[in-house]
Structure 1
Amino acid sequence: MGKVVVLTGAGGVLCSTLAKALAKKGHKIAVLDLRLEAAEKVANDIISEGGIAIGVAANVLEKQSLVDAKTIINAKLGSCDILINGAGGNHPLGTTTNPYLLEKDLLNGTEGFKTFFDLDSKGIEFVFNLNFIGTLLPTQVFAKDMVGKKGCSILNISSMNAFTPLTKIPAYSGAKAAVSNFTQWLAVHFSKVGIRVNALAPGFFLTDQNRALLTTENGNLTERGNTIIGQTPMGRFGEPEDLISTTLYLCDDASSFVTGIVIPIDGGFSAFSGV
């Protein structure tokens, strides 16, 4: 019998792909997203292919919103067995203009130009909260359903940034490092009540959030995109489908003795020294 799987941020490209893959394995899917329309679209796609799914609006930064979503899910699908914390993202206010600070940058008055000293604290707070608090709060709400049951697990979404921070995005890198650390902490904390906790660390995938940073309007790579591909031994960006097999493994009883790990899915990026 299928398990009840709750995915946050599941209106996006990556987690919607995971939602559909899990539905094909017979699981009942709760598609959570800040945008109800996006959540319902993914749920309807699953239903149209014979799966069981509901779309639910939820804000991962508001606990009451998550509690309300849980009430709906429990009534329509049952109690949560698997939680995938997929909500996250970056923000321009937490991003520097250049990868390195030069003395002349301190005199640059160009509108929108930002050095480390110009980063907006509210922007950094938003990025950190979205990624870390947006993982913590759903876990507080939905993991209560899992205590004492068998075959329950949590899957967080970390990033390559958690291993080695990327230039220009200190807020996002720091937040994902916190997610990886939190994954290990939770794995230990929940080890006596039957809940496993692991994480994926995707490399570079083209999504709606980063497409403009990595490709030009005509589809060519930007300078940053070329740098990434040059540092990725497999020589390509990841496809959403590349996340499926590891997700299915970590959510399945086949990994019943696996907890507290963060798995890179990055085409070799984290293994490459650059030479």
Structure 2
Amino acid sequence: MQLEGKIALVTGAGTGIGRGTARRLAEEGAFVYVTGRNLEPLEKVAADIGGRARAVRADVTNKADMDQLAELIRQEHGGLDTIFANAGGGHPISLEQITTEDFDRQFGVNVKGVLFTVQAMLPVLRDGSSIIINTSITADMGLKDFSLYAATKAAVRSFTKSWTTDLKHRRIRVNGVSPGVIPTDAYTTELGMTETQVQEYVDLVTPEVPAGRVGTAEDIGDAVIFLASDASSYITGIDLVVDGGMTAVYAGKA
């Protein structure tokens, strides 16, 4: 129980990596606020976790929502120990086809959402707490048709370094977690892939992953737990790549 007595916030917790991470945080003893734009899946996550979770509808792109959430956390628990700024999304789109709407949507959730989540929580974040941002290996890989999404993830990687300096007087650590191939429901909802296409992609990429498999949401959750716990007390300003060694060894066919 590495996080016994800690209070955590996971944004975008209704599905995928957010859901899996929220579950792992609770298993390690944290009380977890699970948030997102749609209440129904959040309530299912909270019910699955049990007494260590609370579902709250809050849109990371709406500053008023995040301010209200911070006040709720203050009233109910007095403060916050961990943020996993996970809410985000994107889809492949060619350079020629990017519109202002595409730009505003992806930068709105992935960058603006992270910024105003953290800013809203600063008054309730306890000194010595931990902020973890969900980044992506796409920021390094130059994948075809992912320039917009990759740029958003490069931006939030930069946040980890700048905020480490901004918050060092409060001993608040800021790190990123950079997932590799983690098949979740986002592959169908965001990327528009069928279940057959997802499996074909998994079969294609698995031989290129030194770990011999693709990842799971719980793999990311384990990395978040490490960065939230005292075991990583001397680690800040980094981007922890959790991809089975794929980008460290070779990009392969990803």
Identify whether the pair has TM-score above 0.5, normalized to the shorter chain.
yes
Structure 2 CA distance, aligned partners of 1:211 and 1:87?
17
Within 5 Å, which residues of 2 pair with 1:1-16?
Answer: 2-16=5-19
Q: Could you say if the C-alpha distance between residues 221 and 40 of structure 1 is closer, same or farther in structure 2, counting changes exceeding 3 Å? A: closer
Structure 1 CA distance, aligned partners of 2:72 and 2:79?
10
Offset, 1:227: 5.1
> Helix, strand or coil for the counterpart of 2:168?
coil
- Are 2:138 and 1:161 aligned? yes
Structure 2 CA distance, aligned partners of 1:120 and 1:225?
30
Structure 1 CA distance, aligned partners of 2:122 and 2:205?
36
Structure 2 CA distance, aligned partners of 1:3 and 1:236?
32
1:36 to 30, 34, 39: 39
- Are 2:121 and 1:142 aligned? yes
> What residue in structure 2 maps to residue 175 of structure 1?
152
> What residue in structure 2 maps to residue 266 of structure 1?
243
User: Which ranges in structure 1 are unaligned for 5 or more consecutive residues?
Assistant: 97-115
Structure 2 CA distance, aligned partners of 1:256 and 1:86?
21
Under a length normalisation based on structure 2, what TM-score does the superposition of the two structures give? 0.89
Cα RMSD between the aligned structures? 2.1
Q: Is the 8 A contact 2:17 2:221 kept in 1?
A: no
- Are 2:18 and 1:22 aligned? no
Q: Relative contact order (C-alpha < 8 Å, sep 6+): which is higher?
A: 2
Under a length normalisation based on structure 1, what TM-score does the superposition of the two structures give? 0.83
Q: Is the 8 A contact 2:130 2:172 kept in 1?
A: yes
> Helix, strand or coil for the counterpart of 2:83?
strand
Q: Deviations over 1:39-85 (max 9, x none)?
A: 121111111xxx42210000100100111122222222331111110
- Are 2:245 and 1:239 aligned? no
> What residue in structure 1 maps to residue 84 of structure 2?
84
Within 5 Å, which residues of 2 pair with 1:55-94?
Answer: 55-91=55-91
> What residue in structure 2 maps to residue 117 of structure 1?
96
> Helix, strand or coil for the counterpart of 1:60?
coil
Structure 2 CA distance, aligned partners of 1:31 and 1:211?
22
Offset, 1:88: 0.4
- How many residue pairs get matched? 248
Structure 2 CA distance, aligned partners of 1:220 and 1:141?
36
Structure 2 CA distance, aligned partners of 1:183 and 1:227?
32
Give the % identical residues: 32
Structure 2 CA distance, aligned partners of 1:172 and 1:225?
21
Q: Is the 8 A contact 2:84 2:224 kept in 1?
A: no
Q: Is the 8 A contact 2:70 2:124 kept in 1?
A: no
**Aligned-partner residue type, residue 78 of structure 1:** G
Structure 2 CA distance, aligned partners of 1:250 and 1:220?
30
> Helix, strand or coil for the counterpart of 1:127?
helix
Q: Structure 1 stretches (4+) deviating beyond 3 angstroms? A: 211-222, 224-231
| CA radius of gyration, larger in | 1
Q: Could you say if the C-alpha distance between residues 128 and 274 of structure 1 is closer, same or farther in structure 2, counting changes exceeding 3 Å? A: closer
